[in-house]
Amino acid sequence: MRLIALAFFWASLLAAQTFDVIHKKPYWPDGHGQMHIGDDAIEFEAREKENSRRWPYLDIQHFDRISEREFVILSYEDQRWKLGRDREFRFVLTSGELSDAVLRAVSGRLSRPLTNRKFSPPPDVVYELPVKHLHTLGGCEGRLLFTRGAIYYETPHAPDAREWQLARDVQSVFSVDRYQLQIRVFEANRREASHVRVFQFQLKRPLDPAFYRDLKLDLYGIEQRVIP
């Protein structure tokens, strides 16, 4: 009964979400309209009706919450002028906010993992590492926070901040040595052919071998943990 009640709660929560938004376009004037986040689909009702879109959750390739006010939908729609490149839609909310509760509800409807760049530090951290995230050129510094079910990259460089749920977002973790950690996550993006993105971190202090072992066990679903 509790699970049924929870399901009805998320359904009613989604059905009620409507926001005023700006559709950001890099080469054209921005569009305006309303975003409806519903039980079956996300719908953009544009002032210019020809620019309206409706995405059933199965048709959303990736959902990226940049902040409580901004998000991106990567669709399967081809862009002919970009040689068939999948089209993404960026929106900025001018009313309301894309709260954690709404994001969880959206995640429950999607058939794919999503990206969350905005989060509060988790209260149940069991391990922490100061790190540098390596970019193609240079990098940004921050810290990795580990809970029993998630990994968080907290950094002043907001575009790189991430929350990764182990069961939903992480494909694998790998350490070449005690001062490096690679996290492979399911993140659809148009810069890479694969739907797996690699985050490479330099560690400012050595990775504890026992914790690394338990992280691997947690990730692969083995219930043998020695984390206190």
For residue 221, name the pLDDT band (cuts at 50, 70, 90).
confident
Domain encompassing residue 30? 2-116
- Asked whether residue 152 falls in the same domain as residue 197, the answer is yes
Query: Which amino acid would we find at residue 122?
Result: P
14 falls within a domain: yes
pLDDT score, position 26: 82
50 falls within a domain: yes
Give the chain's domain count. Answer: 2
CA 152 to chain centroid, in Å, comes to 11
Please indicate, yes or no, whether the overall pTM of this predicted structure exceeds 0.75: yes
For residue 111, name the pLDDT band (cuts at 50, 70, 90).
confident
192 has pLDDT over 90: no
Helix or strand run (H / E) with residue 217: helix 209-219
CA distance 36 to 55: 10
184 has pLDDT over 60: yes
CA distance 203 to 205: 5
59 falls within a domain: yes
CATH number, domain of 47, equals 2.30.29.30
- Asked whether residue 30 falls in the same domain as residue 77, the answer is yes
Query: What are the tens digits of pLDDT across the range 32-88?
Result: 999 999 999 999 999 998 899 999 999 999 999 999 999 999 999 887 666 657 889
- Asked whether residue 89 falls in the same domain as residue 171, the answer is no
